[in-house]
Amino acid sequence: MSLNFRFPAVLLCSSFLILTFSCKEQPTPEDRAVGLIAQMSIEEKASLMMHTSAAIERLGIPAYNWWNEALHGVGRNGKATTFPQPIGMAASFDEPLLEAVFTAVSDEARVKHRMALQEGESKQYQGLTFWTPNINIFRDPRWGRGMETYGEDPYLTGRLGMAVVRGLQGPADAPVLKTHACAKHFAVHSGPEWNRHSFDAVVSERDLRETYLPAFKDLVTGAGVQEVMIAYNRFRGVPCGANDYLINTILRGEWGYKGLITSDCWAISDFYHPGFHEYSPDAAHAVAEAVHAGTDTNCGSSYKSIPEAVKAGLLDEADVDRCLVRLLAARIRLGELDGIDPWSGLGEEIVEGPAHRELAREMARESIVLLQNRDGILPLDPSAKIALIGPNADNKEMQWGNYNPIPEQTITLSDAVNVRIPGLVRFQGCGHLDEPYTGVPEMDPETLLKRLEGVDIVIFAGGISPRLEGEEMKVEMPGFKGGDRTDIQLPAVQRRMLRTLHEAGKKVVLVNFSGSAMGLEPETQTCDAILQAWYPGEEGGAAVADVLFGDVPPSGKLPVTFYRSIAQLPDFENYDMKDRTYRYFGGEPLYAFGYGLSYTSFKYGRAKVKKDRIIIPVTNTGDRDGVEVVQLYVRRPEDTMGPKKTLRGFCRVTVPKGKTVKAVLPLTEETFLGWSEEKGDMVPLSGDWELLYGGSSDNLQAVGIRRKDNKK
């Protein structure tokens, strides 16, 4: 397709402007931006640097709103396909499928943006710049926004985050970018929610470089992410939006990042808001600090004080221009400033169309993790007398998660199971998540058991919901505080219900819906099978039923550690990695990172190490075909202060029953990244290494190698 840029007349070889290109050369986006900026007042410049970017009609610049969301579908703008919450998609360990999901999301984004323009609109949630993915490390299961992330491991987060960027943005070298992705929240941010506007995250340089920054570096240097969002918190005393070490030394300096930096929403006002950081005396000083550091876009309105800061001598207008060049060049590369849309051929029918709904179902299937299956109760026999109860059995909004679209169709577990078993016994009147909100009383055990007379197997759809965990929420009830959790157990009413069912001799299958790890230790005794279903999107009910009845084998693996209780967790506000995540935890978890059962069994053979790869034989020793996620971890025996092990590779393999498949994982310099005190960073290290492989982080075989001169 030919792309014909429409330039404002003032930029076309004007003898009145001194530009760096000749009349025969096409100007770069940066050249065009410089020419436009030269004609603006400081007030006009400031108006372009807030998320509600004003129109400057005399220069041909339309209004634009930078704020849009696509966490797991084009969010907060009506109809769009709702995929599983990111923490669930992380459980798939499936990079290609995740990229396909976000390619579908960006297809829908282009269609919805075009539809808005046709209506003459440029509102919030209608643009092409998406503030996703959230690649913060889910270091503590109490964090309410952990469900937006890809788990607790830096390598997994980086690999999946890059797949998201590729799907959203399209080819990095394309003349027009499809959309923007945004790596957030930079940096060292993962709760608590209640103090994020005043919290100072202080960590060692090793934890910073080894845990909190690798995924950001991957997205910047490996995927060309176009935006980075600054976090609310301070880092070592300085708000992230003004933090020279994070922004200029590391992000723009060491990593060579050329893209946009945006503040989180109203984060700049946190600099001076009473009771928050109190880092700056007023708005003018705050915006001067942020713009000088290189925060290009302000989600909020603090940047309206830019003219005041310049007039007072607090800020050099050259700093403003430098930010604005990046902003305008980005809009040009999106085709937004010129009305260019290479995706105009995409029809409106693709938005939540059959192909994308099937993709949502496929991803939801792969996200489901089988945690327990006592005596092979799963897959279920449809001829059994089955009941479906629990607060999440028919809860559409729970399935949508947060930062979500509003799908036109949602298949709940009740919908899906009822189709398979027309005589299904089902009711909602028990196990309520949020009794204070619903006012629905708990069903007494006698009534419950009477309604379940003659039932052999009870599917209990329990867990929690996005009404209780999420971003800075006004939730104060036992176990929850401001969007975070103060406990990780199931709600007490559900625990009582499951115990009642067990003591009555019922077989119980718990389907746990949550955006975070749950302390399910009592449920390992009261339940015969446990499925972790996360917040599975609009096709989630169908996907869970597909797994429950054996249409597809369970293949998800945990992207976070499931602890037994909060007694195993350090102080939530302590960001040190000691005793956190599978990489440093010294206790025995309930379910380990990377854990997940199948309806068959796998045996790992002796791996062979070649020059640039490891070959791992996996045999299906059961009587069903299955899918296994093969995992590769590394450990440096001499590094006694480092991780006990750390993920460095994974792949999904389909293994027919009775067959052996060889999984091949690459060994690169990245495989052997380790902390160097001398370099103050993660670098490829020589010496003794152990390669650990298997189907879970707690069930591994080892191969020792010695790496010399940066070669295996």
Q: Which residues are catalytic?
A: 264, 469
Q: What is the largest CA-CA distance in the chain?
A: 90
The whole-angstrom separation of Cα 51 and Cα 303 is: 10
Residue 400 and residue 477 in contact, taking contact as beta carbons nearer than 8 Å: no
**Cα separations in angstroms, 98 against 5, 163, 164, 181, 354:** 33, 6, 7, 14, 18
Structure tokens at 600: 């068959």
Q: What is the 3-state secondary structure (H, E, C) of 449-503?
A: HHHCCCCCEEEEEEECCCCCCCCCCCCEECCEEECEECCCECCHHHHHHHHHHHH
Produce one character per residue of 429-443: b if its CB has 16 or more CB atoms within 10 Å, e if not: ebbbbbeeeeeeebb
Structure tokens at 42: 């400081």
Task: With CA atoms as reference, report the closest residue to 225 among 258, 187, 176, 263.
Answer: 258
Q: What is the 3-state secondary structure (H, E, C) of 595-620?
A: CCECCCCEEECCCEECCCEEEEEEEE
Between β-strands 529-532 and 602-604, what pairing exists: parallel, antiparallel or unpaired? unpaired
Residue 209 and residue 163 in contact, taking contact as beta carbons nearer than 8 Å: no
Structure tokens at 668: 């690169």
Residue 655 and residue 619 in contact, taking contact as beta carbons nearer than 8 Å: yes
119 CB-contact burial (10 Å; exposed 0-12 / middle 13-18 / buried 19+)? exposed
- Residue 355 parent element (H or E): helix 354-367
Residue 347's CB is within 10 A of a number of other CB atoms, namely 9
The whole-angstrom separation of Cα 695 and Cα 473 is: 37
Structure tokens at 647: 């993920």
Entry field: residues in the chain:
712
Task: With CA atoms as reference, report the closest residue to 303 among 320, 318, 322.
Answer: 320
DSSP 93: T
Per DSSP, what are the bridge partners of residue 618? 604, 661
Q: How far is CA 37 from the centre of its chain?
A: 36
**Residue 96: cis peptide before it, omega within 30 degrees of 0:** no
